[in-house]
Amino acid sequence: MITDQVLTRKKMYLLFLYGGITAILILGVSYTLLPLKVDLMGIRVYLAQLFLQDGSLSGIADSMYQIADFHIAYYFYIALYGLLTGQIQAENIYIQLQSAAFGVLFLILPYCVVKSFHSLRLVLVSPFLFFLLIWQYFLHVYYTDYWGMGWAIFVSLPLFFVFLKKCDTTAALWKAYIALCILAGVANIPRAHAGIGIVAVAIFLMLHSIYRYTVWSIWQKAIQFVGVILLAGFGYFLFTLTIPNVYLSTFGYDHTTTATKEHKLGGWHTLYIGLGWDSPTSISPKLSFLARENPYNIFFSDECAMEAVSRVNHIPPASYTNIKEHFEYAKEAKRAFSENFTVGYFDILKKLYLKAFEEHPLWFIGSYVKKLFVCGLMLMKDTFAYIFFIGAVYFTMRKKYLIRIGGVVGKELYGVLVALIFLGLLPGLIAVPSHVYLLGSIAAIQSICFLVLLEVLVSTPFFRKDERIHG
């Protein structure tokens, strides 16, 4: 239903104004009047506070160089934000950044709805409908980083919509693809690899479009294929790797010798402790009937991995808590955090992880099969109410009105969201089946519910397409 008509500049400004007003209203009411839960990880608040202690541009670079952590880029941006705004409390900044990120969603939502559904009445109610769908997991709880996995899905919707609708226009196609790659990079800031699902789907769609819609030679297509991969890599690592490295180099630090890179921080830490997701000390009480001891006494905790490495190296185990208690917020704490990881820390965990597969393959594979099953059950538990409600609305309304699911936004967009549901299971499979690790999948299901609800409403006379919205 999208047309070539263009909204007048005045009407476009009014849409963004309405989005801004609803963002302030909804987020303000949510934060001040509705029940609120702050679920900030203590160690990440502490590390962010270390970045904020110095209060200078060079001090931020020094912290990036000395502190070893997975989320070093997030602390970098938190420190810059604190320096810019004068904020000095990490807890407040975490909450403000999450609020601002979702404020952007409500800001752009009216414009996106009117461009796709062409109904002013639908525009007026859509922010409140969206709020009702996402409040429980994304505005009721304030996280240090997990929210990024869901936020990225919501923001990607209009970009995927444009991509799929403009697949026959080369310039628009490439613009939408670049925007998706950059979005994936932005999503990686609060949570490492939160944008992996978005960039993976974008690459697939772009390569498919090149193969299907271009009539160029095989060599011309091959060049484009390479361009697709390079652009994906550029956007994906722009904010978490390229910009921080340039910043370090500006202040005279060798970005290749930072504490994070010296210790080769990667996913092996999480993969290793993820093998202990169903240990009696790690599993949720609601899933206690699935609990079982594993051959290596692994449990899902950072300390478990640190103790395993210490046993291999025959040294006392390191501890985040001990560093905080001993140094508090002194500058010496920075160096202590780099030394918290022994040389070869992640290489050791990699060997231990692969050793577990070699020695107990049936237990190893069975653990992931069981984890996948539990992830699916937890996802259904967390989203059943949304699916049931939207399903009830759809089957009730279809008796009175002609409703075509996919008739407005396209069935392809629903296909993208289904793919993102499955890709969103990866964090839960790597770590532990928990709704915080499944927020990407939850957001994809909520997005499907939201789109279906809008398509149902726009099929009724009250919300039907209004041609007057175009100038």
pLDDT at 1 over 70: no
| For residues 272-292, average pLDDT | 88
Of 158, 200, 153, the closest CA to residue 176 belongs to: 158
| DSSP secondary structure code for residue 301 in this structure | S
Q: Which residue matches tokens 């070869």?
A: 344
pLDDT at 319 over 90: no
Range of the domain at 271: 267-471
Amino acid letter at 46?
A: Y
Q: How would residue 9 be classed by pLDDT, with cut points 50, 70 and 90?
A: confident
**What pLDDT was estimated at residue 387?**
96
Per-residue pLDDT tens digits for 206-227:
998 887 766 567 777 788 899 9
How many domains are contained in the chain?
Answer: 1
Q: Is residue 179 part of a domain?
A: no
| DSSP secondary structure code for residue 468 in this structure | G
Q: Alpha-carbon distance 45 to 284, whole Å?
A: 24
| DSSP secondary structure code for residue 242 in this structure | I
Q: Alpha-carbon distance 283 to 276, whole Å?
A: 9
Q: Is residue 457 part of a domain?
A: yes
pLDDT at 19 over 60: yes
Q: Alpha-carbon distance 185 to 130, whole Å?
A: 24
Lowest mean pLDDT segment, chosen from 133-142, 182-191, 277-286: 277-286
Q: Which residue matches tokens 């390079």?
A: 230
Question: Residues of 264-296 as b/e, b for ≥16 C-beta within 10 angstroms?
Answer: ebbbbbbbbbbbbbbbeebbeeeeeeeeeebeb
Lowest mean pLDDT segment, chosen from 37-41, 108-112, 186-190, 302-306: 302-306
Q: How would residue 35 be classed by pLDDT, with cut points 50, 70 and 90?
A: very high
Which contiguous run of DSSP H or E holds residue 142? strand 141-143
Query: pTM for the whole thing?
Result: 0.92
Q: Is residue 92 part of a domain?
A: no
Q: Is residue 354 part of a domain?
A: yes
Identify whether the C-beta of residue 273 lies closer than 8 Å to the C-beta of residue 301.
yes
Q: Which is more confidently placed, 10 or 167?
A: 10
**What pLDDT was estimated at residue 279?**
92
pLDDT at 346 over 90: no
Name 346's bridge partners: none
- Angle, alpha carbons 221-226-164 (nearest 5°): 70
Mean pLDDT of the chain: 89
Q: Is residue 161 part of a domain?
A: no
Q: Alpha-carbon distance 208 to 221, whole Å?
A: 11
Nearest 10 degrees: Cα torsion 229, 234, 240, 244: 150
pLDDT at 238 over 70: yes
Q: Alpha-carbon distance 18 to 329, whole Å?
A: 43
Name 38's bridge partners: 142
Q: Alpha-carbon distance 424 to 414, whole Å?
A: 15
Per-residue pLDDT tens digits for 347-405:
889 999 999 999 999 999 999 999 999 999 999 999 999 999 999 999 999 988 888 89
**What pLDDT was estimated at residue 100?**
97
**What pLDDT was estimated at residue 320?**
67
- Cα dihedral sign for 163, 168, 170, 172? negative
**What pLDDT was estimated at residue 286?**
80
Q: Is residue 405 part of a domain?
A: yes
Q: Is residue 410 part of a domain?
A: yes
Identify whether the C-beta of residue 116 lies closer than 8 Å to the C-beta of residue 161.
yes
Q: Is residue 442 part of a domain?
A: yes
| For residues 85-108, average pLDDT | 96
Q: Alpha-carbon distance 415 to 159, whole Å?
A: 14
| DSSP secondary structure code for residue 404 in this structure | -
pLDDT at 4 over 60: no
pLDDT at 189 over 60: yes
